[in-house]
Amino acid sequence: MSGTLTVVGLGPGDPRYLTPEANAALTNAQALYGYGPYLDRVPARAGQTRHASDNREERARAAAALNQAAQGAHVAIVSGGDPGVFAMAAAVCEEIEYGPESWRVLDVAFVPGITAMLAVAARIGAPLGHDFCALSLSDNLKPWELIERRLDAAAGAGFVIALHNPVSRARPWQFGNALALLRRHLPPATPVVFGRAVGRPGERVEVTTLGAADGKNADMATLVIVGSRETRIIARPGKSALVYTPRAAVEVNA
Amino acid sequence: MSGTLTVVGLGPGDPRYLTPEANAALTNAQALYGYGPYLDRVPARAGQTRHASDNREERARAAAALNQAAQGAHVAIVSGGDPGVFAMAAAVCEEIEYGPESWRVLDVAFVPGITAMLAVAARIGAPLGHDFCALSLSDNLKPWELIERRLDAAAGAGFVIALHNPVSRARPWQFGNALALLRRHLPPATPVVFGRAVGRPGERVEVTTLGAADGKNADMATLVIVGSRETRIIARPGKSALVYTPRAAVEVNA
């Protein structure tokens, strides 16, 4: 019997975002692996084993799942959002590249999900309506200087910027420094969106500007979208504001 | 009676990507608007009117849908992939900003979907596993010089690059020029993925390198992912290759 490993994107959290493909992959798995809070979103099924692990144990989790699949089981690893965006899919590929031959010949599949930046953008309008980039502010796995260089390049060239992992307990100053750096490229009126826990209990979406944005308003569950010079805020009487980036861009030199 | 407008992401095409939230929005609409081939993906429902329009008529489509919603109807506009990524959500916001007051006070909602770059990435591994950007190669609505500047910035700073709209009948040379520009920043072995019609009939995914990539291999239905210097290809005996970008990045100066 041949085992399989499927890396499944759960989307932001609420079941209304879970695709039928992801749902089928969860149903068919004999064993589920994942970060505890993500596994808790998946209803229990008789006969299906569950293996929760901690947030920072991606490589060990991937190895354990690959090992069980190589022994013939149908295994799924769950990931919040999309597994391919700052999540489990890369960790699984790393293990496959450097692991035993039996892992390289396994049937492996990746099931996409609604990633956080798409969910936050949908709550507020269309801030990612034109060219944008997605950047992790975590300097656990890359030097801070590289993050600064990427922020400079993206803001200088007019990309909207989705900032993942802005803050953690071990990284208290990085987001504030990133905002200060972006203020050197972009005017104070540039729209900024803070999306916290979007699609989950405790959801909070705030629209502000780069001039007024406070680094203390983000936490581990927050995704931040910093607009370009083209991004606009539409005030609406009696309704929440919309934020969008027009499809046409005219500026060549910032 | 208050009308509503919902902008709905259908995902790549196959119903297995359609979220329950999108499905509910389609079911509840009294009128559906969209580009003909996208509308064709939605099963017909009794009592629901359908208004197909051409690819390049986004503003007129958005205005017609807003107008009907302002008259009290529950209206949905469908979009391929995610409506917020190079799609209908920005066109709707443009119309709301510059249209009559009655459009600004409407209940408007955006339903995210699996966007093409996530679907292509999932087919091949995790090429978007670390910092990346999404860039439209269409110079219909922005100058080509701005596209070149953004390609320079993104490749120079080590972002993986997802190229949307690489080619159309009216834009035959732009994608080849973009590849030539990227070759000035990145080594010939840099992985490149061509994902054509992913999630639809005629799907074809090709892994090549920047040195070997041929601009003629893309069409209007193709999304191209150009790796960074960190992106890797895993050859697998008897299986298709995996492409991924590791979670750790070390390089500061390209």
Pairing of strands A74-79, A49-53: unpaired
Task: Determine the residue among B82, B111, B234 to mutate to test chain A binding: the one whose Cβ has the most chain A Cβ atoms within 10 Å.
Answer: B82
Q: What is the DSSP string of chain B?
A: ---EEEEEE-BTSSGGG--HHHHHHHHH-SEEEEEHHHHTTSPP-TT-EEEEE-TT-HHHHHHHHHHHHHTT-EEEEEESB-TTSSSHHHHHHHHHHHS-HHHHTSEEEEE----HHHHHHHHHEETTSSSEEEEE---SSS-HHHHHHHHHHHHHTT-EEEEES--BTTBSSHHHHHHHHHHTTS-TT-EEEEEESTTSTT-EEEEEETTT--GGG--TTEEEEE--TT-EEEEETTEEEEEE--S----S--
pLDDT confidence bin for B55, thresholds 50/70/90: confident
Interchain CB distance below 8 Å, A251 and B17: no
pLDDT by residue for chain A (254 residues), tens only, comes to: 689 999 999 999 999 999 999 999 999 999 999 999 999 999 999 999 999 998 889 999 999 999 999 999 999 999 999 999 999 999 999 999 999 999 999 999 999 999 999 999 999 999 999 999 999 999 988 999 999 999 999 999 999 999 999 999 899 999 999 999 999 999 999 999 999 999 999 999 999 999 999 999 999 999 999 999 999 999 999 999 999 999 988 765 54
Exposure string for A207-243, b = 16+ CB within 10 A, e = fewer = beebeebebebbeebbbbbbbbbbbbbbebeeeeebb
CA distance B143 to A183: 25
Interchain CB distance below 8 Å, B18 and A16: no
Interchain CB distance below 8 Å, A122 and B136: no
| One-letter identity of residue B186 | L
Residues 6+ away with beta carbon under 8 Å from A102: A70
Interchain CB distance below 8 Å, B153 and A157: yes
Helix (H) or strand (E) holding A195: strand A191-196
Task: Compute how many other C-beta atoms are within 10 angstroms of the C-beta atom of residue A75.
Answer: 27
CA distance B139 to A247: 11
CA distance B110 to B29: 14
DSSP A16: G
CA distance A112 to A85: 9
ipTM of model: 0.96
pLDDT confidence bin for B225, thresholds 50/70/90: very high
Chain B CB contacts of A128 under 8 Å are 84-85, 134
CA distance B83 to B114: 9
Task: Determine the residue among A59, A114, A231 to mutate to test chain B binding: the one whose Cβ has the most chain B Cβ atoms within 10 Å.
Answer: A114
Residue of A nearest to B246 (CA): A90
pLDDT in tens, B133-174: 999 999 988 999 999 999 999 999 999 999 999 999 899 999
CA distance B9 to B87: 9
**Residue B199: per-residue pLDDT:** 93
- Which residues partner with A243 through β-bridges? A125, A233
Interchain CB distance below 8 Å, B126 and A110: yes
CA distance A79 to A111: 10
Dihedral pair phi/psi, residue B150, rounded to 5°: -70, -40
Could you say which of A17, A115, A239 has the minimum Cβ distance to residue B21? Answer: A17
CA distance B231 to B129: 9
**Residue A71: per-residue pLDDT:** 97
Give residue B129's Cα distance to chain centre. 18
Sign of CA dihedral A235, A241, A242, A243: positive
Residue of A nearest to B131 (CA): A135
pLDDT confidence bin for B2, thresholds 50/70/90: confident
**Residue B201: per-residue pLDDT:** 92
**Residue B254: per-residue pLDDT:** 44
Interchain CB distance below 8 Å, B159 and A156: no
A12 neighbors A122 (Cβ within 8 angstroms): no
pLDDT in tens, B173-205: 999 999 999 999 999 999 999 999 999 999 999
Task: Compute how many other C-beta atoms are within 10 angstroms of the C-beta atom of residue B216.
Answer: 10
- Region B71-79: mean pLDDT is 98
Query: Distance (Å) from the C-alpha of residue A126 to the closest C-alpha of chain B?
Result: 5
Task: Determine the residue among B140, B145, B150 to mutate to test chain A binding: the one whose Cβ has the most chain A Cβ atoms within 10 Å.
Answer: B150
**Residue B250: per-residue pLDDT:** 74
Could you say which of B85, B131, B247 has the minimum Cβ distance to residue A133? Answer: B131
What pTM value is reported for the model?
0.97
DSSP A206: E
Sign of CA dihedral A70, A72, A73, A74: positive
Could you say which of A90, A159, A246 has the minimum Cβ distance to residue B150? Answer: A159
